[in-house]
Structure 1
């Protein structure tokens, strides 16, 4: 399917083996490691690829691994997988530069789609153009939708946000669905990336 190597990092042998099996049977080249440190020990000699890391690991978490990868100057896509459905952790991972944040249990299509999207060549769109497009999409949101967007991407849980905005859970879900459509977002990760891009400072003029 692709020439890119997929690097799987997970201290859980069963989970790691299952993911390796899924990827190899989908024709990806895969290398797996039992810890973040084991992967960092070989990263400088590794071919460019996509990293899939578990979030909760001893010694070094998936988010700490992501930060180390970025600190070393590698811009490889990194997908963080976790069994903890924590909005704050998702925001933290995406702010640190994760390409995607996927909760366990996930279905095979979700994981494979995330990998395929991560390794696809990016379209040459300038940061200014992306920021302008995001601004245009955000302007289409109603006041209530924007409040829901800001709350969710700011790390609030749906229950807490509904209480703060005095909305029923059903009303909150309707606003969330509407803003996802208007922003052309298919996942929570997309929403966080849109929020981060909207806050990005324009490049300094020469």
Structure 2
């Protein structure tokens, strides 16, 4: 039996031009067992970032050159979906609120308590794990849909539209027994053990269903 691939290591990516604060955060997080990568500017992080990165971001709102908020927006355009916590100084709260509206997890004001930062980091990492699992499930659903025959797909669409077997048979001009066979094959191919699971998985990747 082959082993499942190991889950990628989550890394806390710190982007802050303040060397003292950056070093302090690295020490604090590493002492609590987190893997950490530190960058002194938004541009430095952009040079190494990729959509495959896992973990989370700790971003200073205000930095020379590209700001933390501008970096977060650029990462969104690059489909780098890392949850982010913003570090703000006094007077930067409006910028942090703007970041929240754009999808950031939270912001924390300097000076901050170690426990508060650790709580936010753990929340971000849990959110990233959940998002990665959800994307993996959605990709699996899309792959399974591609393996359905045309007739199975027609039956599936009518199931999602709430049609009963007799109604599906009437619409497609086939027998109820044939509908039952196709329905069983659809459930098997989609890996669904209930109608609710089947509908939810398909509607998640195809929001336009049932009518498509």
The TM-score normalised by the length of structure 1 is 0.57
- Which secondary structure does the structure 2 equivalent of 1:84 belong to? coil
Root-mean-square deviation (Å): 2.4
Match of 1:69 among 75, 85, 93: 75
TM-superposed CA distance for 1:83, in Å, is 1.0
Q: After the TM superposition, which segments of 4 or more aligned residues of structure 1 sit over 6 Å from their partners? A: none
Match of 1:91 among 97, 102, 111: 97
The aligned residue for residue 130 of structure 2 is 122
Unmatched 5+ residue regions in structure 2? 1-7, 135-206
C-alpha change, 1:46 and 1:32, in structure 2 (3 Å) is farther
Unmatched 5+ residue regions in structure 1? 126-202
Answer yes or no: is 1:18 the counterpart of 2:27.
no
Answer yes or no: is 1:43 the counterpart of 2:65.
no
C-alpha change, 1:86 and 1:47, in structure 2 (3 Å) is closer
The aligned residue for residue 14 of structure 2 is 8
**C-alpha distance in 2, partners of 1:80/1:12?**
14
C-alpha change, 1:25 and 1:59, in structure 2 (3 Å) is same
**C-alpha distance in 1, partners of 2:52/2:12?**
11
Preserved CA contact (<8 Å) 2:50 2:80: no
**C-alpha distance in 2, partners of 1:34/1:48?**
19
The TM-score normalised by the length of structure 2 is 0.55
**C-alpha distance in 1, partners of 2:31/2:116?**
15
Preserved CA contact (<8 Å) 1:52 1:79: yes
Preserved CA contact (<8 Å) 1:5 1:30: yes
The aligned residue for residue 117 of structure 2 is 111
**C-alpha distance in 2, partners of 1:102/1:85?**
12
Higher RCO by CA contacts (8 Å cutoff, separation 6 or greater):
1
**C-alpha distance in 1, partners of 2:85/2:48?**
19
Preserved CA contact (<8 Å) 2:61 2:92: no
**C-alpha distance in 1, partners of 2:12/2:101?**
22
For these two proteins, the number of residue pairs brought into alignment is 128
